[in-house]
Amino acid sequence: MTASPTTLKDVSTVSGITVRLAGDSGDGMQLLGTQLTNTSALAGNDVATFPDFPAEIRAPRGTRAGVSGFQVRFASEEIFTPGDHLDALVVMNPAAMVTNLGDLRKGGILIANEDGFNEKEFKLAKVESNPLDASVIEEVYRVIKVPMTTLTRDAVAAHGLSQKIADRCKNFFAMGLVYWLFGRSLDPTLRFIQDKFGKKPDIAAANEAALRAGWAYGETTEAFGESYQVEAAELEKGTYRNMMGNQALAWGLVAASKLSSKDMFYGTYPITPASDILHELTRFKNFGVRTFQAEDEIAAVCATIGAAFGGTMAVTASSGPGIALKAEAMGLGMMLELPMIVINVQRGGPSTGLPTKTEQSDLLQCMFGRNGESPLPILAPRSPGDCFDIAVEAWRIATECMCPVVILSDGYIANGSEPWKIPDVAKLPKIEVKHPEGSDPDEPFMPYARDENLARPWAIPGTPGLMHRLGGLEKEDGTGNVSYDPANHQHMTDTRAAKVNRIAERIPDQDVYGETSGDVLLISWGGTYGACHTAVRNCRKAGHSVSHAHLRYINPMPKNLGELMKGFNKVIVPELNTGQLRMLLRAKYLVDCIGVNKIQGKPFAVSELVEAIQEHVSTAKGGKSESDVRSKAG
């Protein structure tokens, strides 16, 4: 295998590129996107990605509903989002073009697979004529038409594949062309082709030929005068790898299991976008991971509780609809006071909602969606890489407190990726887990005696002398016996709440980006971190008095948060829901937070947030803005 060729054309250096690859859901756009991401990360760029695919596995070919897209931004500076506007858009057919063109910036590059633009495709995409022929297109964008299908067929002809299979290689052709345009090395993808198709040498050879042909096309055609280069980003020193959110959650769980010297049990039922955690964890049996694909979500969470009772690190995950099913058992887990982790990878709701799109609308579900007073700690990762740390932290809290801990991730984080600095395992703090030892059988065992964290002992079956019975009926303090005593119920309810609230004593204070007082404080949580951080950074550069607090701990909240909010004239809370965190903040701190809310299955664009911040900064010193009035009326 020969290595990457090098270009002889002009190369201009830019600080960052945002490119989106869009085609039919069968065109291999996700693969193309993932390869481009990995290759860019390996080149030392900071990267952020946003895959966006249809809910149907194979939506009708060529239609707008079937368009699958993958957006990646790679940059020589630290970035937090995959970008609002595209510098380049690659489209494989008319449907992909008309649904994505709106995001391409003026002067941006549009690369179209000319072969995909014919009468049949126009009909499928519901366009009257060839959208590439519209005169405005050539005026506004740099349009490059490439007959990718024909060129791919020529390139792979020598390998004697059927036309259908040959045509499937065209995503590698597109990849080669994109790699040339942005000065990417072919090597990682050549390695990938060998790994993936090594057992089918003719397919491997054809894909490689298509990849190289795409690259050569860029180098030889007159259409491209120059290519672009993005230098390595100045990231913190260390060894990096590219990391996706669900993968990071899985790895964080395995790490937590090792750090606490516990085997892991993972009980789950498939659901988008949580399933990949299961797929990833099944690879780790040699780490002592047992995965259980249950008959439904209820079985999954209950088996998890059973494993926790036995003394294992127990984890379950789902998305909103599955969490709804788990609710009764989560209440039991809280009542039994057993440590475990419940992950919700949120997606658009309600009900089946928008399965492949992102949303943050399960916060109140996780906070309150159980019968009775049932408080649980809630943590939320802010980015794909942060999922690793959150998983470890969740397990630490669960064992310290003896209760289930909820992790609220979302589809955007789960499928997105970013460079992840590989930690030194030896330096990761251990998680000390204690089980009481067998005691004198004549001494009555107190399964609900409490330590300084108000946690009860994790006595596990098999230990002599500590036999006890747990259950969902109210427990008498100390003995754990069933009790209907009114005063005891009050006491136990208060104690369970106090136990969760006390976690605030042991978590870090809320950190702030910017000053600790000023005109506007923006408070965010979860996957909107990148967009919020970038928006605040841009506004600060423009001289505005605005700071940013991003919550990773949602229940309980950091203990300085109330004080912090008081230092600002206005607090704005952007969320991909209709105002769930805002409701909690208002209720808890009696601060009149202002919502910036979007619920379209799409992440925030930085520009949307910048606009919102600017509007509020301008009025923060004095009167009320129009949207204050609106949000109050709503």
Partner 1 sequence: MNLPVLKAADFASDQDVRWCPGCGDYSILAQMKKVLPELGVPREKTVFISGIGCSSRFPYYMNTYGMHSIHGRAPTFATGLKSTRPDLMVWVITGDGDALSIGGNHFIHCLRRNLDINIVLFNNRIYGLTKGQYSPTSTEGQVTKSTPMGSIDHPLHPLSVALAAEATFVARSIDAHVKHLGETLKRAAEHKGTSLVEVYQNCNVFNDGAMAYAQERKQRAENVVELEHGKPLIFGTNNDKAVRLVGNHLEVVNVADVPADDLLIHDEKEMNPSIQMMLARMRYPEMPEPIGVLRAVEGVATYNEQINDQVTLAKQKKGEGDLQALFNSGDTWEVA
Instruction: Pick out residues in 326-345 that bind partner 1 (CB under 8 A).
Output: 328-329, 332, 336
Which CB, 106 or 237, lies closer to partner 1?
237
Judged by CB, which is closer to partner 1: 471, or 508? 471
| 254 or 564: CB nearest partner 1 | 254
Rank residues 229 and 597 by Cβ distance to partner 1 and give the closer one.
Answer: 229
Q: How far is the CB of 72 from partner 1 (least distance, A)?
A: 16
| Residue (63 or 242) nearer to partner 1, CB | 242
Binding segment for partner 1 (CB under 8 A), chosen from 119-127, 290-298, 485-493, 576-584, is 290-298
Nearest to partner 1 of 44, 321 (CB atom)? 44
Least distance in angstroms from the C-beta of 444 to partner 1 = 8
- In three-state secondary structure terms, 245 is helix
Exposed/middle/buried for residue 205 (C-beta within 10 Å: 0-12, 13-18, 19+): middle
Cβ 537 to partner 1 shortest distance, Å = 21
Contact string (CB under 8 A) for partner 1, positions 259-288, x = contact: ----x-x-x----------------xxxxx
According to the binding rule CB under 8 A, does residue 95 interact with partner 1? Answer: no
Binding of partner 1 by 629 (CB under 8 A): no
Q: Which of the stretches 165-173, 174-182, 203-211, 253-261 binds partner 1 when contact is defined by CB under 8 A?
A: 253-261
| 135 touching partner 1, by CB under 8 A | no
Instruction: Please list every residue from 41 through 60 that binds partner 1, using CB under 8 A.
Output: 41-44
* Residues in the chain, total: 634
Site string for partner 1, 201-240 (x = CB under 8 A): -------------------------------x-xxxxxxx
Closest distance between partner 1 and the C-beta of residue 78, in Å? 12
Beta carbon of residue 63, minimum distance to partner 1 (angstroms, whole number)? 35
Query: What's the closest the beta carbon of residue 431 comes to partner 1, in angstroms?
Result: 13
Contacts 24+ apart (CB under 8 A), 346-349: 346/319, 346/320, 346/408, 346/409, 346/410, 346/411, 347/272, 347/273, 347/319, 347/320, 347/410, 347/411, 348/411, 348/599, 348/601, 349/320, 349/321
Does the footprint of partner 1 cover residue 604 (CB under 8 A)?
A: no
187, burial (CB in 10 Å: exposed 0-12, middle 13-18, buried 19+): middle
Cα dihedral 457/461/465/466 (nearest 10)? 30
Query: Which residue lies nearer to partner 1 by CB, 416 or 556?
Result: 416
Widest Cα–Cα separation across the chain:
91
- 395 near partner 1, rule: CB under 8 A: no
**CA–CA separation, 488 and 537 (whole Å):** 51
The DSSP-derived string for 485-516 is: -HHHHHHHHHHHHHHHHGGGGTSPPPP-BS-S
Nearer to partner 1, 38 or 63 (CB): 38
> Is residue 251 part of the contact set for partner 1 (CB under 8 A)?
yes
User: For partner 1, which residue of 205, 294, 325, 364 counts as binding (CB under 8 A)?
Assistant: 294
Q: Which is nearer to partner 1, 137 or 294 (CB)?
A: 294
Size of the site for partner 1 (CB under 8 A): 74
The DSSP-derived string for 519-537 is: EEEEEEEGGGHHHHHHHHH
Question: Closest distance between partner 1 and the C-beta of residue 329, in Å?
Answer: 6
Where in 426-445 is the site for partner 1 (CB under 8 A)?
426, 438
Min CB(299)–partner 1 separation in Å: 4
Q: Of these, 10, 77, 138, 296, which contacts partner 1 (CB under 8 A)?
A: 296
Residues 330, 16: Cα–Cα separation, whole Å = 45
Binding to partner 1 (CB under 8 A) within 368-387 occurs at none
For tokens 């369970």, what's the residue? 496
Site residues (CB under 8 A) for partner 1, limited to 453-492: 461-473, 481-482
Please report whether residue 566 would count as binding partner 1 according to CB under 8 A.
no
DSSP H or E segment with residue 92: none
Query: Other CB atoms closer than 10 Å to residue 136's CB: what's the count?
Result: 7
Of 299 and 414, nearer to partner 1 (C-beta) is 299
Please, what is the minimum distance in Å from the beta carbon of residue 425 to partner 1?
4
Confirm if 29 and 188 have CB atoms less than 8 A apart: no
Q: What are the C-alpha distances in Å from 174 to residues 32, 83, 89, 119, 158?
A: 8, 21, 11, 22, 19
3-state secondary structure of 216: helix
CA atoms within 13 A on the CB side of 187: 9
How far is it, in rounded angstroms, from Cα 322 to Cα 295?
Answer: 12
**238 and 420 in contact (C-beta within 8 Å)?**
no
Q: 186, 274, 281, 314: which one contacts partner 1 (CB under 8 A)?
A: 314
Helix (H) or strand (E) holding 332: helix 320-336
Using rule CB under 8 A, residue 78 touches partner 1: no
Chain residues 169-188 in contact with partner 1, contact rule CB under 8 A: 188
- The answer to whether residue 72 forms part of the interface with partner 1 (CB under 8 A) is no
Strands 340-346 and 546-551, bridge-based pairing = unpaired
**350: which DSSP letter?**
S
Q: Which of 393, 409, 254 is nearest to 317 (CA)?
A: 409
Q: Which of 253, 277, 299, 317 binds partner 1 (CB under 8 A)?
A: 299
DSSP string, 434-461: --PPP--TTSPP-TB---TTSPPP---T
Q: Taking CB under 8 A as the rule, does residue 248 contact partner 1?
A: no
